[in-house]
Amino acid sequence: MSDAARLLAEIHAARALVRDAATTAQPDHARLWAHATRAPDGPVDLATVRTIRGDPATARRYRTMLGALALAHAPLAAAASDGAILRRRVGAYALEILEAADGAPPLLVLRGESGQMPRVIEAWLGDETVRLDLGPAIEGAAVLALDPAVPDAALMGRMLRDPACAVFLL
């Protein structure tokens, strides 16, 4: 084997070791906190996401952080439900999905009884998660179009209709 081929093989083996170490290592508190406080449209640490999805203990730690940050959160939509959820309470906030009759995308409407309105919503269902910016509230309500042409918005709409979906309002 030539020196160049041996060097290439060693580099390849080293990359595999580093990649394995990164995926099996538990993210420290600072990495989970950075992930919990990230902007909805900001960069995502894929190693942290992979660990949260693959390790139930890390997912619990992350959800505990989200719960501490959240203005309100709900682990489940309803204890007893027989279909899709279109309205739910999340702490002091009412969350409703309004279906349009004229073919327009459904709307997510968030109304609050308290003075402070959340700016971000994160939903969890199984190992799927989605985080969206709610934008500024107008007259006590934040409105977000759940446009089927926008993958994250469509996923949010599907997830929020499921009774097992957890919601964090940040």
* Alpha carbon distances (Å) from 11 to 5, 16, 17: 10, 9, 10
The pLDDT of 21-50, averaged and rounded, is 83
Contact 121, 170 (CB under 8 A): yes
Residue 121 structural domain: 72-170
Whether 165 and 99 map to the same domain: the answer is yes
Whether 148 and 81 map to the same domain: the answer is yes
Q: How many domains does the chain have?
A: 2
Does this model's pTM top 0.85? My answer is: no
pLDDT tens-digit map of 138-155: 888 999 999 999 999 999
**Count of CB atoms situated within 10 Å of the CB of 88:** 20
Tokens at 50, concatenated:
């992979």
pLDDT tens-digit map of 66-122: 999 999 998 765 544 445 568 888 989 999 999 877 888 999 999 987 678 999 999
